[in-house]
Amino acid sequence: ARIIEGTLDGRLIAVDATSGAACRGFGNNGQVDITVGMGAVAAGDVSIGAPPAIVRGVIVTGHQVRSTQRQEAASGVIQGFDVITGKLRWAWDMQQPDRTGAPPLGQAYTRGTPTLLTTPTADDALGLVYVPLGSAAPGQGSGLHDAARQRHANALVAIDVTTGKPAWSFQPVRNDGADDDLR
């Protein structure tokens, strides 16, 4: 048994539930840096502020970004990691829907995309994780958002945890100019 926790500096940490010791086989000595593949990320730009969901052996996490200040904020990529090894199983970059893993060397996940600010909910029987997304960056500038960023902004997206692809999406708020994130 292990405990998985997210940190305010963008890491997932796995510890043994009995001893409290780091699970050495998870990522790099018990830690996974979720900012890998995001390009330049300054300290404090990415933080895991809510518990990740675990379904069918996959840790699904999103994160908060400093998005209200600039359009090219860090990516809102949703990632699925193996609960035992910490290896990336998939990444959903909503503006690169055909890519299912890390970006190629020298490239990054799309910047400024909507983020998961709260706790996702998982359905183990269906193999889905329900991800309530916020607005695209900047948070109060819907006129600056292109159609691809708006497609999943302020939406509830069901992601298949085996593929990392959306099964469906429901967007109750369109062209949000008031930063009304789903929470």
Strand 31-33 and strand 46-47: the pairing is: unpaired
Judged by DSSP in three states, 113 sits in coil
Which pLDDT value is given to residue 145?
A: 53
Calculate the alpha carbon distances from 92 to 2, 18, 95, 115, 167 in Å: 25, 33, 9, 11, 12
The catalytic position among 9, 179, 180, 181 is 179
Task: Count the alpha carbons within 13 Å of 82 in the hemisphere toward its beta carbon.
Answer: 11
Is 179 annotated in the active site?
yes
Tens digit of each residue's pLDDT (9 = 90 or more) over 96-147: 988 989 999 999 999 888 888 889 999 999 999 999 988 776 554 444 555 6
Segment 56-85 shows an average pLDDT of: 86
Beta strands in the chain (DSSP E): 2-6, 11-16, 31-33, 46-47, 53-55, 58-61, 64-65, 78-82, 88-92, 121-123, 128-132, 156-160, 166-170
Which pLDDT value is given to residue 140?
A: 46
